[in-house]
Every structure is written in structure tokens, then in C-alpha cells.
Amino acid sequence: MPDLLLELFSEEIPAHMQAQAAKDLERLTVGMLTDRGFLFEGIKAFGGPRRLTLAITGLPAEQKDVREELKGPKVDAPQAALDGFLKKTGLTKDQLKVEKTPKGDVYMAVIERKGRVTPLVLAEIIPEVMAKFPWPKSMRWLPGNSVRWVRPLHSILATFDGEVVPFEFAGIKSGNATRGHRFLSSGIIEVRRFEDYEAALKKAHVVLDASERAEIISHDLKQKAFALGLEPIEDAGLLAEVSGLAEWPTVLIGTIQDQFMDVPAEILQTSMRTHQKYFSLRDPKTGKMANRFALVANMLTKDGGKEIVAGNERVLRARLSDAKFFWDEDRKHSLESRVEKLKGIVFHAKLGTQFDRVERIEKLAGEIAAKIGADVEKAKRAARLAKADLTTGVVGEFPELQGVIGGYYARHDKEGTDVANAVRDHYRPAGPGDAVPNTPVSIVVALADKLDALTAFFGTGEKPTGSGDPFALRRAALGIIRILLENKLRFPLKVSDELLTFFADRLKVALKEKGIRHDLIDAVFSLGHETDLVRLVARVKALQAFLKSDDGANLLAGYKRAANILKAEEKKDNKTFTREVLESHLSEPAEKALFAALAKARGAIIPALEKEDFAAAMQQMASLRVPVDAFFEGVKVNADDKQVRENRLNLLASLRATLHQVADFSRIEG
Amino acid sequence: MAKARTFQDLILTLQNYWAGHGCLILQPYDNEMGAGTFHPATTLRALGPRPWNAAFVQPSRRPSDGRYGENPNRLQHYYQYQVILKPAPANVQELYLGSIRAIGLDPDLHDIRFVEDDWESPTLGAAGLGWEVWCDGMEITQFTYFQQVGGIECDLVCAEITYGLERLAMYVQNVEFVYDLAFNDEFRYGEVFHQNEQEFSAYNFERADTEILFQHFKDAEKQCRELLTGKKLALPAYDQCIKASHAFNLLDARGVISVTERAAYIGRVRALAQACCEAWLASPMGAYTPRFA
């Protein structure tokens, strides 16, 4: 069956839009084809610096005939409803059929459309796809024409079965021609099918497929670094970006001047990455950054890239001079002296300046340090200096280096390792892949920073919503959770109920990946008195293990049965059963046995919980399984004698209460 | 193509190149401004239905970029070369690359790239889509398709090409310190402008009287508003708008405008720019009048 080839050739498309644009082109075209009854065998879409390409294989030469039945209004409906239906279907009244339905007679429209030849359909839908193309940002460029594209469009190549699909968009007639690389090829390339197209482009120095471009870059990077005894520092984001900036990617290696090598590696790397899109290289043995960088050019030159490398080295020297200037200038003023300047930086309109924020964090850090046994003075000192790097030139230039830079400057100011590390690490963990601080002072300041943000923003009502979390509060809560759990830190979260619920939700997300059930977290959280996450997680884990055992599963079933009976009877009697069980009213052996088992278990569960010996608490619960099962087997709860019945219900209520000491079993699913 | 050896060669080459491509060669505007975009030949002429092709050098003042003559490439006063092509011709990228060849940068030996950089001027209420043009990793030109100026959609989309002349010259001359540029065969750039940078940095950061500047801002704003009432004088009013903008830039460099005030000041300048643009469009040159009517 025939194939479609479509290429939309424009001026340079922003690198970060290319992949999505290729997907959108595919999605929209497929949607329109399916709506018109087309099936096809295969589809591929490509996005690159100057072109979007779509190749569909196995597309039928003709559209199937379409027969559509549309149900209209009832025959006795008002005239307006009928008029609307006629307008929608384009039929006249006498073309409608009447169909009997259980609800009465309704009009039916039968629309039959003869299938058309595919190129005609394509000529109709491609301009429509282009007209509604969802570029994140697009522009007008034609006089007297409001048509938009990401940048001016220059040509459209559209062939079906090797022949041009004729249509027009933005004043451009579709054809069978394209162009190669801007500088490494010249003239027009004519093609008929995808196979010639891809090959012809390669000859004209264009690699069509972004993933192939990325592979070439990645491979050449490794090769060229290896030849120097080095390896590239992986950077997937940068790789994707540079793959969108070159049709013919060429990796070249340049040298960083020695005078910059005592500037911290983070600054060099960030400067090279953000401003110049260079990859950094390192020595695989020491992990130390090397005085080389890799750039990806879109060019092959007869001097083997000599001028290009020389030019890039020159630009880098100017860039790094700037960075080094800031680095040298910044260190002329201590972090301490910068704290005052934070009064001039607004943190948030409702929450005051960065200085106000520091005051809060400092106080909080002192309290946390005292509680967890960290050095109070060091923690307060680090908290005081933590935000001072916001006033430095380096952070002004590279905001993503906040913290890291403060750490360097604290060390330079001889603040001591604990304080410097705490300043450096207080924003961490930066994401799920980032490690958490693990030394006492760093832990304290990282906690204080995040807790302050959470309480402050929750206090002003700036809570995250389903769609937005502008102050990254979810990340802050998750950070606290990870710091506490990974350091096994016993630190009760004294926060509002609302915030505690927020933590509980984050905790569920965090533990879900570790295979811990969210309903069990709910079951323990809803007891209401647990603010120590480490203890909570230990209890949940023990509970989960218990429920996996036979005893646990059976006991849960017994609990559910008891709870259901209680619910029904409590509703009937319009009261809850909370009375003491009267031993004197027990007659059946099974209820006597359960009574005894409950008394014993209750006596043991509480001390076990207090000792945080959750395994022992679960063991006590396990001991209830046999008596519970026996009770339901041998005892009729709803006895005829009113007193016996009430006593038995109180016994079940006592079972419920006993289990609720461990968790709210009613929240447990299954 | 021989390289433009000196700074002034570079300017002359660009002047000849763009004159040869049908541009009016205008002279710098005689008001202090932050960028060539403020020149009425750009801001105002970008609006309305009349075609317009012009090129000119514009001294650009960015008070807070002053470095007392000590930074290798940062200046509070520098030259932009500005080309405005309205409507943007279909081959405008090729025309631009022709100018790069003309000054002696051979695209076959270098790595020239168009890297996304959308442009926005909050003070002018202007925005466009485009790129910064990289030559071997250095930004040598800003290339923008205007979409909006003074908050008004452009009837004819124009291409604005802005060359940073000092940077470009440093690249062509292979010089690392701007003051080492050969201005002509006799003078270095530093001999012409170094003292200028030192003195103006001191003025911008230390000496400029902020009270006077606040008053300048208010006066310019007031005068601008007055010129736009009754019989409107779009061009003199726009002059006042430029003056207000520069006073604001100086105040900003002096560090006397807080973050919140900053947005408010920018909004005030934008309101003036918008009003001027509207007045321009209602004026004989701004409104549509067929050329040979």
C-alpha cells in the first residue's frame, strides 16, 4: 500500500519545542485520518532544527465509504429542534427517516459519503493540522495574513505514493522539494518517498532523526574524551538540547585556560552549560574536572574545526573571566556581612524579606538542634548564613548554585566544616535522585529551612493546588520525610492538622515506591497521635507484614465481621456499645475464651507499643485469631436474652477497641 | 572577503552593505537610550502599514553595565548597528548571512547558529520571536521578528537585526579586551572611550543626583502626557518617553528603586510608549497614506 511523506521546512525551530512538535504532528494527523476512516501500517515523526517530518506507511489509496446514522429529535419536538438537526446534517425534512423507539418516534438521518481518493483527503487535512498546530509560541510573518507558525515557513513537501499532494498553506504550494544543511549543501533536493528522502538528506548533511543525532553526539563525546584519557560528565538535558541545535552534529574539544581551574568546578560547569551549552569532561580515575570541554558544532570545516574551537575558547575565556571576577569579588566580603543585605530582598509579599526568613530559620534551627542533640550554636550559625549567598555575584549570575556557593564562601570565611557543609546542603534533597544531608548540623538546617517554608506558606494560605505548587512545598515536605526516615531521626512534627495531613499524603507517595500500602499509612495516621514519622513507618511496616500472614488475614476478616455486626446492631439500637463486658454473663466456652484472650492481649499490646516493639504487638494480635474464629463459629451474637446479646456486642466492641490500639482497622482495604 | 580591519571599517562595511540592499542609512538618534530599538525609526516605524527599510548606528547606554573601564567587554555605552526591514523579506536570513560575509566572517569556516531567543521589552510594550545568532559560540547578533510594539499588534511584521558592534569587532579583530580594538589605523577604542567609561560609571553608580533624576522622570512623564492631549504631537511626546526611560535606568543603576517600585516605573514608561505609539498611528506618517497618492 502507498506511503505518505510530509515535511514542513521552516527557519530555526527552538530546540526544546522540536520533540513535542513531532509528536503533535503525528497525533493530529492520525486523529484526522482515523476520523475519516483510515487505517495505516506504520508512522514515524521527526523534529529537527529546520524541519518537522511525518512518514506514514501502508495508507490505503482510497477512503472507505462512510455510512453514518444520526439520531435526531422526536417527531413531536419543537420546530427549532428539528431545524437545528437539519442544519447539522445538511439534509431536508423529507430526507429524514422516522424510527420507532420505546420513547416514541424519532427522526433519523442517514448520511452516506462515498470514499474519496486519499490525496484529496490529505490535501484537506494537512492544512487543517497546520492551521491548528499547538506551538507553545508562534508568530505571524506574512503581510495581510494572520497564519501562524513557530518561525517563517519556507516549503512544504507532501507526497503520496511518490506523487505530490497538492495544497496550499501560508501562501506556499506543496511540492516534492526540500533543502539540506544550511551551509554544507546547496540547492534543491527533489524526492518522492521517505527512503530517498532520508538518504538524500544524509547526503546533504542532515541527520533527520533526533535520537540518531543524540547517539552520534554521545558516541563522539565518549570517543574524543577517551582519546584524552577523560570521560564526559553525563548531562541528558544538555544532550537533548544540542541535538536540536545541529542538523549535522560535530563534537569538538577545546581547552580551558589554567587560570580558571581554581574556580570551583560547579561554577565552571554551570557557566559552560548555561551560557555555552558545552559538556564538561573529567578524569575517570579521580573524578576531578578536566581542563577540557566539548562543544557540538553544526559544521564541518576544511580546517577540521580549528577556527571554531579557537573562537569558542575565546568566548569561554570571556565568560569565565566574568565568573572568576564574581568569585574573586564575592570573597572580599564575608557571608556574615551579607546577612544585613538580605533586608533588601523580598522573599514573599506576605512573608517579608529574606532577612525575616533567616531570623525564623535561625530560631527554628536552634529548637530542632536542641531536640535532636545537634550542636545548637553551630546550627544557628549555619542557618544565619544560609541565605547570605543570595547577595553574591555568582548566585546572581547562576541562581541554581545557591547553597553550593554559600558553602564555598563559608569555608573561605573559616566558619568550620559543619557550618559550611550545612550552608551548602540546606536546600537538599533537590529531587528524588538527590542524597539527603546526613550530618547533624546539616540535617538541622535543611529541616529548619523546609519546615519554615511549609508553615509560613500554609499560614498565609498559599497551599499547593492540583495544578500548581509555585513554592515547591511538595518537594519540601518530601525532603523532610526523606531526611527523617533515611537518618532514622526521632523528631515529632509539631505542625497544624492541615499540614500533618499534607505530610501524610506526601508520605504515601514516598512509600508507595517502596511497596508500602497507603491504606495502612492512613490506618495508623488516623489514630491521630502519631507525629513521629520513623515510629509511624515502623508500625506500618510491622502491620503490613502481619496482614500478609495467615493470622493477620484471618484476624482482619474477623475484625470486619465484628465491625459489620456492631455497625448494624448499633444502628438498630441507636447506641454504641462501649460498656464493660460482664464476665458473669458469659456462658459459651468460645466467648469466655475470647474474653480471656482479649484481656491478655490488651495487657500486652500497650506496653509493646510503648516499647516500640511492634513485632511483639503484632504477635499479641496474632494470638487473637483462633479465639476470634472460634467465637464466630460457636456463638450466636444476637442471643434472645437481651442482656446476653448486649454483653456479646460489648465483647465485640472490646475486640474492635483492642485492635484500634494498633491501627484503625476500618481503614484497611481488602 | 577581506576582514573589516578596524572598528570604523566594520561600520562602513555594514552601512554599504545595507545601503546596497535598499535601506535608508539614518544617523543615530540624539537622545540617550538603552538600545537601538528605542530609536523612533524602529519603535514607531515598526507600526502601521507602511513599508520601511532602514539601518543606523545607535549609541546605547546601559548605566548599570558600567564597570569603570575594567571589564574586558562590558560597557555602559556601546554601539549597536540596527537594521529594520518591514515587511521582513522571505530571504532575510540569507541577507543577514550576506552581511556577515561582507565583514569577513566566512560561514564556511565558522559555526553559525540561530539559537532561540525571544525578545521582549517591558518598557516599550514590545515583543517578538527570533534568535540570537551565534558564531563559534559567541552571540554576535540579535534577530527578531516584531509581533507587537507599544502593546499594538504590528500590521506588517518587520525583522529587526541588531549587531553588537564592539563584540563583533572583537571577534573579527581577534581582540580580548574591548579597549584594545583598533578604532581606525591610528586610534584604539580605549583612547576614544576608556575615560568615558570610567567617568560615566562613577556618574551612574555614585554621583548622579537621584533627586534631580526623580524630578526628570516626573517632568518627562508630565510633558509627554501634555503633548498627547489636544492636538497630539507624537514625535516630541515620544522623545519625552525616551527621556523618562533613561532617567529610570539611571535611578535603577543608583540602586534607589526597590523591586516592587521597579515594576511600577516600568509600567509608567510602558503606558507612555503605548500612548505615543497610538498617537503616531493617528498621525499622517503613521497612518496609511499610499506613497504616490
pLDDT in tens, B215-270: 999 999 999 999 999 999 999 999 999 999 999 999 998 888 876 688 889 999 99
Quote the minimal CA–CA distance from A409 to chain B in Å: 23
DSSP per residue over A315-337, as a string? HHHHHHHHHHHHHHHHTTS-HHH
Q: What is the pLDDT of residue B292?
A: 46
Question: Which residue does chain A place closest to B144, by CA atoms?
Answer: A151
B interface mutation test: which of A151, A241, A251, A353 has the most B CBs within 10 A?
A: A151
Nearest CA in chain B to A17: B116
Confidence of residue B1 (pLDDT cuts 50, 70, 90): low
Cβ–Cβ of A307/B136 closer than 8 Å?
yes
CATH number of the domain encompassing residue A352: 1.10.3210
Q: Do A301 and B71 touch (CB under 8 A)?
A: no
| Residue A32 · residue A24 · CB < 8 Å | no
Nearest CB among B93, B135, B156 relative to A11 is that of B93
Please name the residue ranges forming H helices in A92-209.
118-131, 194-203
Residue with grid cell 484481656, as numbered in its chain: A599
Residues of B in contact with A16 (CB under 8 A): 116
Residue A382, C-alpha cell as written in the block: 549555619
Q: Do B135 and A311 touch (CB under 8 A)?
A: yes
Nearest neighbour of A141 by CB, restricted to B114, B115, B157: B157
Q: What is the mean pLDDT of residues A337-354?
A: 88
Residue bearing cell 540579535: B142
Whether A55 and A71 share a structural domain: no
Residue B54 in 3-state DSSP? strand
Mind listing the pLDDT tens digit for each residue in A542-565?
A: 999 999 998 888 889 889 988 998
Residues A425 and A571 in one domain: no
Any domain includes A87: yes
Same structural domain for residues A603 and A632?
yes
> What is the phi/psi pair of residue A281, to 5°?
-120, 155
Residue of A nearest to B71 (CA): A322
Which of A185, A203, A221 represents a domain boundary (last residue)? A203
- Of all residues in chain A, what percent carry a pLDDT higher than 90? 60
The span from the CA of A94 to the CA of B96, in Å, is 65
- The whole-angstrom separation of Cα B82 and Cα B37 is 8
The minimum CA-CA distance between B25 and chain A, rounded to whole Å, is 24
Q: Are A14 and B147 in contact (CB < 8 Å)?
A: no
Q: In percent, how much of chain A has pLDDT > 70? A: 100
Of A150, A183, A345, the CB nearest to B107: A183
pLDDT score at A487: 94
Q: Is residue A523 domain-resident? A: no
Query: A264 pLDDT exceeds 60?
Result: yes
B147 in contact with chain A, both atoms CB, cutoff 8 A: yes
pLDDT tens track for B211-226: 999 999 999 999 999 9
Distance CA B129, CA B83 (A): 16
Nearest CA in chain B to A14: B116
Angle between helices A210-227 and A15-35 (to 10 degrees): 150
Nine-digit cell string for A505: 499524603
Cell readout for A626 is: 483462633
Asked if B137 and A15 come within 8 Å (Cβ–Cβ), the reply is no
Query: Closest approach of chain A CAs to the CA of B109, in angstroms?
Result: 5
Whether B108 sits inside 8 A of A301 (CB atoms) is: yes
**Interface touch B128/A139, C-beta < 8 Å:** yes
Instruction: Name the residue among B72, B131, B137 with its Cβ closest to that of A311.
Output: B137
DSSP SS3 for B3:
coil
What one-character-per-residue DSSP string does A338-349 give? HHGGGGGSEEET
**Is residue A325 located within the same domain as residue A384?**
no
- Domain count within chain A: 5
Q: CA of A384 to nearest chain B CA: how many angstroms apart?
A: 23
Strand ranges of the sheet holding A250-255, from the earlier edge strand across to the other edge: A231-232, A279-282, A289-297, A250-255
Verify that A584 and A636 share a domain, yes or no: yes
pLDDT in tens, A498-536: 898 899 889 988 888 888 888 998 898 888 778 889 988
* Mean pLDDT computed over A322-348: 90
Buried (b) or exposed (e) across A221-253, using 16+ Cβ within 10 A? beebbeeeebbbbebeebbbbbbbbbbbbbbbb
The pLDDT of residue B2 is 65
Place of cell 484526522: A32
Residue A298 Cα, gap to closest chain B Cα (Å):
6
Q: Which residues 96-125 on chain B approach chain A with CB closer than 8 angstroms? A: 107-116, 118
Indicate yes or no: CB of A152 within 8 angstroms of CB of B128.
no
Residue contact B145–A152, C-beta within 8 A: yes
Smallest CA–CA distance from A18 into chain B, residue: B116
- Judged against a pLDDT cut of 80, whether residue A431 lies above it is answered with yes
For B171-216, write each residue's pLDDT tens digit: 899 898 999 999 999 999 999 999 999 999 999 999 999 999 999 9
Residue A638 lies in a domain: yes
With beta carbons less than 8 A apart as the criterion, state whether A166 and A124 touch: no
The pLDDT value recorded for residue A662 is 87
The whole-number pLDDT of residue A531 equals 84
> Which residue, A457, A492, A516, sits at the end of a domain?
A516
3-state SS, residue B28: coil
What number is the average pLDDT over the span B69-93?
94
The alpha carbon of residue A139 is apart from the nearest alpha carbon of chain B, in Å, by 7
Q: Which residues of B touch A11 (CB under 8 A)?
A: 93, 114
Cβ–Cβ below 8 Å for A142 and B157: yes
State chain A's maximal CA–CA distance in angstroms.
105
pLDDT at B49 over 70: yes
| C-alpha separations of B265 from A300, B67, B241, B252, B271 in Å | 49, 25, 12, 10, 10
B108–A295: do the CB atoms touch at under 8 Å? Answer: no
Contacts of B156 in chain A (CB under 8 A): 143
On whether both A159 and A239 belong to a single domain, the answer is: no
Mean pLDDT of chain A: 92
Element housing A564 (H / E): helix A550-573
What are the backbone dihedrals phi and psi of residue A322, each rounded to the nearest 5 degrees, phi first? -60, -50
Q: Which residue has the higher pLDDT, A377 or A347?
A: A377
- Considering the domain architecture, whether residues A444 and A299 belong to the same structural domain is answered as no
Would residue A452 be called left, alpha or beta, if left means φ above 0 and alpha means ψ between -120 and 50 degrees? alpha
Which residue in B has a C-alpha nearest to residue A149's C-alpha? Answer: B129
Interface of B with A in 211-240 (CB under 8 A): none
Which carries the bigger pLDDT value, residue A508 or residue A113? A508
Instruction: Evaluate whether A49 touches A184 at the Cβ level (below 8 Å).
Output: no
Are residue A500 and residue A370 in the same domain, yes or no?
A: yes
B94 touches chain A (CB under 8 A): no
User: Best interface-test mutation with A: which of B116, B118, B179 has the largest number of A CBs within 10 A?
Assistant: B116
Residues linked to residue A66 through DSSP beta bridges, in sequence order: A113
Predicted pLDDT at A228: 96
A460 and A361, same domain (yes or no): yes
* Superfamily of the domain at B209-282: Class II aaRS and biotin synthetases; domain 2 (1.20.58.180)
Contact A308 B110 (CB under 8 A): yes
Q: Are A309 and A347 in a shared domain? A: no
Q: A272 — phi, psi (to 5°)?
A: -65, -40
pLDDT of residue A291: 96
In a domain, A507, yes or no: yes
Lowest mean pLDDT among A267-271, A624-628, B126-130, B285-289: B285-289
Beta bridge partners of B188: B182
Residue A538 lies in a domain: no
Query: Would you say A69 and A110 are in contact if contact means Cβ atoms under 8 Å apart?
Result: yes
Nearest CB to B129; choose among A139, A298, A303: A139
| Kind plus residue range of the DSSP H or E element containing A68 | strand A66-74
Average pLDDT score over chain B: 93
pLDDT tens digits, residue range A637-669?
Answer: 888 888 888 889 999 999 998 888 889 998 998
Closest alpha carbon within chain B to A278: B137
B111–A298 C-beta distance less than 8 A: yes
Number of helices (H), then strands (E), belonging to chain A: the values are 24, 20
Per-residue pLDDT band for A347 (boundaries 50, 70, 90) equals: confident
Average pLDDT over residues A64-93: 86
DSSP β-bridge partners for residue A153:
A10
For position B155, what pLDDT does the model report? Answer: 87
At residue A496, φ and ψ (nearest 5 deg) are -65, 160
To the nearest 10 degrees (0 to 180), the angle between helices A497-512 and A473-486 is 70
What are the cell numbers at A644? 446476653
Domain boundary residue, one of A474, A497, A516:
A516
Same domain, A358 and A448: yes
Same domain, yes or no: A37 and A71: no
> Looking up cell 537594521, which residue turns up?
B83
Please tell me if residue B8 touches chain A, with a CB cutoff of 8 Å. no
Cell 584524552 appears where? A228
Given a contact cutoff of 8 angstroms between Cβ atoms, the answer to whether A276 and B137 are in contact is yes
**B111, A251 Cβ separation under 8 angstroms:** no
Cβ neighbours of A151 in B, within 8 Å? 129, 145
A→B interface, C-beta within 8 Å: 11-12, 14-16, 137-143, 150-152, 154, 183, 245-246, 276, 278, 295, 297-299, 301-303, 307-308, 310-312, 314-318, 321-322, 325, 344-346
Measured from the Cβ of residue A209, the count of other Cβ atoms closer than 10 Å reads 16
The verdict on a CB contact (< 8 Å) between A139 and B147 is yes
Considering only CB atoms, which chain A residues are within 8 Å of B258? 344
Over residues A497-506, the pLDDT tens digits come to: 889 889 988 9
Task: Please state, in angstroms and as integers, the Cα–Cα distance from residue A388 to each residue in A354, B7, B85, following that order.
Answer: 9, 43, 47
Distance from CA of A345 to the nearest CA of B (A): 8
Q: For residue A365, what pLDDT is reported? A: 96
Strands A352-353 and A139-140: unpaired
Q: Determine the straight-line distance between the first and last CA of chain B, rounded to whole angstroms.
A: 43
Whether the per-residue pLDDT at A467 is higher than 80: the answer is: no
pLDDT of residue B291: 46
Mutate to test the interface with B, among A9, A12, A300 (most CBs of B within 10 A): A12
In angstroms, rounded to a whole number, what is the distance separating the alpha carbons of residues A440 and A425?
A: 12
Chain A residue whose CA is closest to B153: A140
CB contact under 8 A, A311 and B136: yes
The predicted-structure confidence for A624-636, as pLDDT tens digits, reads as follows: 889 988 998 888 8
Q: Does B262 contact chain A (CB < 8 Å)?
A: no
* Grid cell in block for residue A548: 500478609
CB A340 within 8 A of CB A385: no
**H helices present in A574-613, as ranges:** 589-610
Domain spans, chain B? 7-203, 209-282
Residue A170 lies in a domain: yes
A308: nearest CB among B111, B115, B258: B111
CA angle A265-A269-A274, nearest 5°? Answer: 150
How large is the average pLDDT for residues A78-92?
87
Which range of residues forms the domain containing residue A195?
A: 4-62+117-203
Q: Determine the pLDDT at residue B293.
A: 39
Asked if residue A535 belongs to a domain, the reply is no
Rounded to the nearest angstrom, the minimum Cα separation between B222 and chain A is 30
Whether the per-residue pLDDT at A323 is higher than 70: the answer is yes
Instruction: Indicate the CATH number for domain B7-203.
Output: 3.30.930.10
Check CB contact under 8 Å for A311 and B171.
yes
Note the pLDDT of residue B288. Answer: 62
pLDDT at B289: 53
